[in-house]
Amino acid sequence: MLKRQWLIVLVILCLNLPFLIYADDEFEWGEISDEELMMQGIPEDPEANAVILFHLGELRITPDFGMEFFVHKRVKILTELGKEYANIEIPVYYKNKIYDLKAESYTPEGKKTKLDDNNVFEEKINRFWNKKVFAVPGVEVGSVFEYKYQVTSESIYQLEPWVFQDHEHTKFSQITVYLPAGFTYSGLTMNLLPDDYEQTYEKVRNPYDFDKDCALYKWTVRELPGIKKEPYMKAFDDYLAKILFQLVSFKNQYVNREFAKHWDDVAEEVWIEYKDHFNQDGGLEDFTKELVAGITDPIEQTKKIYNYVRRDIRTNGKGGLWGDAVGDPKNVFKNKEGSSNEKNILFINMLKQVDIEAMPVLISTRSNGQFNQDWVNLQQFNRVVACVDIGQKKYFLNTGSKYCPFGYLTPDYDVDYGFIVNNKKGQIIKINAPEPDNKLEIESLVNLDENGEINVYAHFTFEGINAVLERDKIENKDLNEYLEGQIDDIHQEAVLDSFHYAAMDSCSKPLELDLYFHVPGYLEEAGTISYCRIPLLTGRDKNPFVRDERKFPVDYDYSYSQTEKVKMMVADCFQISEKPSKAKGNIRGLIYNKIYFDIDNGLECQRNFKLRQKQFSKREYPTLKNMYDKVVNSDQDQLVLVRK
């Protein structure tokens, strides 16, 4: 959930306000209490690996319109796994500087270990962000460690957001903001209800200019549960409680200035950054016109160009939206290689050569995090796709995937909204990319011999996104290793004999796989009675949902259906004594059924699993979890055989 809060601030702040002014001694550097040192767990989360004792931030604006940001964090380690929290990464905006970085650890016995400055390293994240990386020394199970630092900036355009929440339970988190007179800021809270936090405002005397007051804002959160990574989550940061700050304006008797950015301002930034990449030639015009020669339908022309860029220009693993991270389209065309962003810009350019209207759309991929329309910030985006407007219909296309059919987007790119840029104008746009019919169908023939070994032939048919993802795996993985991993799910002794893929290079046809393998000693024998499971390649042996409740929705990447038919023939020396019971389950958005048929010398099993919706609310979670329990129990059912 998010709730918009507006902050209007009126007071001038001088330099060198005391860092982290708090009344409680428990927040003083190095003042570790006996209670903290001897703590062995917390009742709020008995399974906690660590606990955030406090996380304090102070944000202030200097008289020269710079920014100073101070952070102090203290953590208690409870388990071996919790020691991972002593590996610290601090993101820093590239124009900002970090100073006075300190870290110390304290064992329950009182041993103190300080961080050596030589063990702090800097790494580049992207064009806009770097990070300080270090490991707090001397951390053991039972240790308390803390660190603090100061970030300074010559500009107040990029204010640091504050994240209240963490992977582990947070006992106390507070952000304090000192703001100069005449400034107006907006603050946007995310994943916080009004009762979840305390917000206060007061005027205090500026200790460095007693003729003036200082406006003091605080947001405080207590006993905030940690967010654990669970199956079928979006980007982890989307779930964290946080507050985002944005400068709006400054006004005094001499100056009246608007700082708040609008989306058109962002569009102008993008256009300035990208304009030299558009309408480049470098041989593009002649090549593109020759490529579509004889084709008059704009849709067919677009498909031809799309297929060329996705297939014949290799996608490398590079990313980046700005500056040196985006090469000239003519060089991408010449070298036949580029990032997905570069390929999509090349694609737009090629369309322009034949007068087809195409525009860049900035998106934040699912793995990068949800795009927030209320926070006007260019750095939310990490990818660009093409929007092609033909016959009053918009097509959203990404040439970065070699195997994605025309008109569709792969799951990570299939987001709800993007920001479309047309010259210096821009707007939020709904991305209405259709979802293909995603299917996996398997037909297997299984022969069980008199020695208890099974020989399996399975024919797979992948359609839609299933085919795209499978083709990507074939392109990027060792196939023998990949397929051996697949049949290991049936039995750890499974041996891959051979395989064959068909229609590998076509993204318009289903992908087909023929797979041959055998499993020695597949039967579990007890005297004259033997047991085994039907060897289902889509069967589940565990429930992905283990927690009793969930605090956020279950988000699948895409909807799909799985149909599997297994014909199992048994040697004449066996007789099927007992077959599993049929199973059926049906909840909103999910259907499962499994039935059996008697055949000569064997049994046929048909299993269907159909996920019809991509999201289940937290209220639906218990029902979904119970459904998966039924699926797992059914898929583990045993076939009972008797030797004649």
Residue-wise pLDDT tens digits, 370-388: 989 988 888 889 999 999 9
* CA separation, residue 538 to residues 441, 491, 541, 565 (Å): 10, 13, 10, 10
Residue by residue, DSSP assigns 205-272 as EETTEEEEEEEEEEEEEEEEPP----SS---GGGGS-EEEEEEEEEE-SS-EEE----HHHHHHHHHH
Q: H helices then E strands: how many in the chain?
A: 9, 37
pLDDT digits (tens, 9 = 90+) for 327-384: 788 889 999 999 999 999 999 999 999 999 999 999 999 999 998 998 888 888 999 9
What is the reported pLDDT for 1? 39
* H/E element, 146: strand 144-153
Confidence band of 159 (pLDDT split at 50, 70, 90) = low
Give me the chain's average pLDDT, please.
89
Check if the beta carbon of residue 358 is closer than 8 Å to that of residue 352.
yes
Average pLDDT over residues 258-263: 74
Q: Is 338 helix (H, G, I), strand (E, B) or coil?
A: strand
Band (pLDDT 50/70/90 cuts) for residue 11 is very low
pLDDT of 2:
36
Percent of the chain clearing pLDDT 70 (strictly above): 93
Predicted confidence (pLDDT) at residue 180 exceeds the cutoff of 80? no
Distance CA 406, CA 403 (A): 9
Closest CA to 375 of 93, 158, 95, 125: 158
Query: Quick one: pLDDT at residue 156?
Result: 73
Mean pLDDT, residues 532-556: 94
Place of tokens 């016959």: 391
Q: 532: closest CA among 542, 544, 520?
A: 520
Q: Are 602 and 625 in contact (CB under 8 A)?
A: no
Q: Where are the beta strands (DSSP E) in 450-510?
A: 454-463, 495-502
Weakest-pLDDT range from 227-231, 561-565, 602-606, 624-628: 227-231
Q: Which of 19-28, 52-61, 387-396 has the lowest mean pLDDT?
A: 19-28
Quote the pTM value.
0.86
pLDDT in the model for residue 379:
82
Q: Residue 128: what pLDDT? A: 75
Q: Alpha-carbon distance 629 to 644, whole Å?
A: 35
Q: Which domains does the chain have, with CATH numbers?
A: 2-16+36-258 (2.60.40.3140), 264-430 (3.10.620.30), 439-643 (2.60.120.1130)
Strand-strand pairing, 511-519 and 454-463: antiparallel
Q: What is the pLDDT of residue 157?
A: 64
Interval 433-441 mean pLDDT: 94
pLDDT of residue 587 exceeding 80, the answer is yes
Residue 224 has pLDDT above 50, yes or no: yes
Please list, in sequence order, all residues whose beta carbon lies within 8 angstroms of the beta carbon of residue 266, skipping any fewer than 6 positions away.
376, 378, 419, 426
